[in-house]
């Protein structure tokens, strides 16, 4: 028997790193992406202008950046806006969005599901129901297939 049957370290080697034909996604300079404008969104929420806040928070999504802080900040901001809506207004909110808006909203919703906080999942589920009615399963498929997301 060979000596190294004891050590299992070789199992942790990432063989893909040694593959010279490994598929690499194209770099798309996302250093300048800062996410939605926090100040603008906050002021709109304070004013009670939630529809505008929704549109503002869906602008400049940090899709191409690798900066996790920017992404977390954007997600938090979106959650803030979504939570501020009255349940009965959610449907109108979703319907004011265009196709791309609905797809983007779906991405944020699933991102939000990944790290639930106190009441977030309940709010997100309500939004999910309305977004699904507008975007269909296709919008969920696009959340799954997007190689770069929020």
Partner 1 sequence: ISTSPSLPLYNPYIFSSRLQHGYKVAWKIAVSPNNNVVNIYEKKGKDWVKIDELTEHSGRITGIDWAPESNRIVTCASDRNAYVWTLKDSVWKPTLVLLRINRAATCVKWSPLENKFALGSGARLISVCYFDKENDWWLSKHIKKPICSTVLSLSWHPNNILLAAGSADLHCRIFSAYIKDIEDKPGPTAWGAKMPFGEVLLEHKDCGGWVHSVSFSPAGDQLAWVAHNSSISVADATEGKQVTQLSTSHLPLLSVLFVSASEIVAAGHDCCPYQFTFKSPGSLEFVKKLDIPKQTSKGSMSAMQHFRNLDKKATEEDDKELNTLHQNSITQLCVMSGDKSKVDKYSSVGLDGAMVIWTFKH
Q: How many binding residues for partner 1 (CB under 8 A)?
A: 15
Non-local CB neighbours of 1 within 8 Å, separated by 6+ positions: none
For residue 60, give Cα distances in angstroms to 12, 19, 64, 132, 136: 38, 35, 10, 22, 24
Decide: is 142 part of the binding site for partner 1 (CB under 8 A). Answer: yes
Binding mask 95-134 for partner 1 (x = CB under 8 A): ----x---x-------------------------------
- Cα 95 to the center of its chain, rounded Å: 19
If you ran DSSP here, which 8-state letter would residue 64 be given? S
The answer to whether 33 contacts partner 1 (rule: CB under 8 A) is no
Number of CB atoms found within 10 A of residue 81's CB:
23
Minimum distance, C-beta of residue 38 to partner 1, in the bound complex (Å): 29
Site of tokens 């191409």: 64
| Lookup result for tokens 């940090």 | 62
**67 contacts 148 by C-beta, under 8 angstroms:** no
Can residue 21 be called a binding residue for partner 1 (CB under 8 A)? yes
Give the nearer residue to partner 1 in terms of CB position, either 6 or 137: 137
Nearer to partner 1, 63 or 82 (CB): 63
Among 23, 27, 48, 114, binds partner 1 (CB under 8 A): 23
Q: Which residues make up the interface to partner 1 (CB under 8 A)?
A: 21, 23, 26, 99, 103, 135-139, 141-142, 145-147
């Amino acid at each position: 028997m060979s000596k190294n049957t004891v050590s299992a370290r070789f199992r942790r080697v990432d063989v893909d790193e040694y593959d010279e034909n490994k598929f690499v996604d194209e770099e798309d300079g996302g250093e300048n992406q800062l996410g939605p404008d926090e100040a603008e969104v906050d002021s709109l929420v304070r004013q009670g202008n939630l529809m505008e806040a929704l549109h503002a928070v869906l602008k400049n999504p940090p899709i191409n950046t690798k900066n996790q802080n920017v992404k977390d900040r954007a997600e938090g901001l979106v959650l803030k806006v979504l939570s501020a809506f009255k349940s009965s207004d959610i449907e109108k909110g979703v319907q004011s969005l265009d196709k791309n808006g609905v797809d983007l909203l779906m991405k944020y919703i699933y991102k939000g599901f990944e790290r639930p906080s106190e009441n977030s999942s309940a709010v997100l589920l309500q939004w999910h129901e309305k977004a699904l009615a507008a975007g269909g399963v296709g919008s969920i498929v696009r959340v799954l297939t997007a190689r770069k997301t929020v």
